[in-house]
A = this chain, B = another copy of it.
Amino acid sequence: MEKKILLTDCPDAKGLIAKITNICYKHQLNINKNDEFVDHENGRFFMRTELEGRFNDETLLADLDDALPAGAQRRLVKAGKKRIVILVTKETHCLGDILMKNYAGALDMDIVAVIGNYDTLAELTGKFDIPFHAVSHEDLSRTEHEEQVLAELTGKFEIPFHAVSHEDLSRTEHEEQVRAIIDGYQPDYVILAKYMRVLTPSFVEAYPRKLINIHHSFLPAFIGARPYRQAFDRGVKLIGATAHFVTDDLDEGPIIEQDVIHVGHAFSADDMAKAGRDVEKSVLSRALELVLNERVFVYGNKTVVFK
């Protein structure tokens, strides 16, 4: 007896649940759990079906294709572990939480590699016997003075200075190296666990619906750099985090999961950042679990999430 998940996504029509569940029934598959959603505004039907039994994938999918309307997408996914590559910069909390959950077997995944644009997190990754690749984008020919100037700029903008100081060519070159490493691992998903470097459109296009980012604000508030500073300056009473698929528009992809915590006037921007770390890691972790369990459909700029 195997377990698989059937994911159907098609134009809405009468009798779709009956048709799909009938086919499953004919194939003597048991439905352990079923979820559907109809977006009446856009006339689209979504269904996630947890099946158990003996599968003949070919005939099952053929039967479905006969029954479903034109424009239907369907996938039959074997339940089980996904291959994950993680991209990081310097912050410990999100990577640490995922490494620990991976170690404990708490999520259906194998972390196959971690890639950093700094080597700061190599040691931590190494503790868990996972390969770490540092792909630096630093210009090694800089003088010490130049480094100081850039370091100050970084302090002001809270983003790696390389994001602004390097020309497009070197950005592209850097991404090519990162992509080569990613592609060597053939991952199912690439997680940006506080990877503080803006991606180019061609990078994003190379991994459609595979790139998951954690943004340190309740999007769409405080898009862009230094969201905690923005939140502090605005005097908000809540700060949040958003896990989303990455698309071309910075911080604008389909949202998977969000959460907030209460803060008050006594929180400095740094206190907010510190308090935010727990909600960041927990939102990313919950989003990962949803994606790994095949509970998330993406359509347009939104998601359907069957919890």
Contact = CB atoms under 8 A, between A and B. Distances in A.
Interface of A: 14-15, 17-18, 21-22, 24-25, 28, 30-41, 92-93, 96-97, 100, 103-104, 106, 124, 127-128, 218-222, 234-238, 240, 254-260, 264-266, 268, 274, 277-278, 282, 285, 301-305, 307
Given A17-B21, A93-B104, A96-B104, 16 more contacts: A14-B28, A22-B22, A32-B40, A33-B266, A92-B104, A93-B100, A106-B274, A218-B260, A219-B221, A219-B234, A219-B236, A221-B221, A234-B302, A237-B258, A265-B302, A265-B303
Nearest to A265: B304
Contacts of A254: 235
A286 B35 CA distance: 23
Contacts of A25: 14-15, 18
Contact of A238 (B100, B260, B268): B260
B264 A238 contact: no
Contacts of A41: 268
Contacts of A17: 17, 21, 31, 34
Main secondary structure of the interface of A (DSSP, over half): mixed
A238 B240 contact: yes
How many copies altogether?
4
A99 to B, nearest CB: 8
Contacts of A268: 40-41
Nearest to A302: B235
A10 to B, nearest CB: 15
Contacts of A28: 14
Given A22-B18, A128-B127, A238 B259 contact: yes
A38 B34 CA distance: 10
Given A21-B21, A38-B32, A104-B92, A238 B258 contact: yes
A269 to B, nearest CB: 9
A275 to B, nearest CB: 10
B220 A265 contact: no
Q: Which of A235, A238, A260 has the most CB atoms of chain B within a 10 A radius of its CB?
A: A235
Contact of A264 (B97, B278, B282, B305): B305
Contacts of A30: 14
A302 B21 CA distance: 28
Nearest to A24: B18
| A-B interface, 9 closest residue pairs, ranked by CB to CB distance from nearest | A235-B302, A18-B21, A221-B221, A15-B25, A96-B100, A92-B104, A127-B127, A18-B25, A265-B304
A256 B35 CA distance: 22
Contacts of A220: 221-222, 234, 236
A47 B236 CA distance: 21
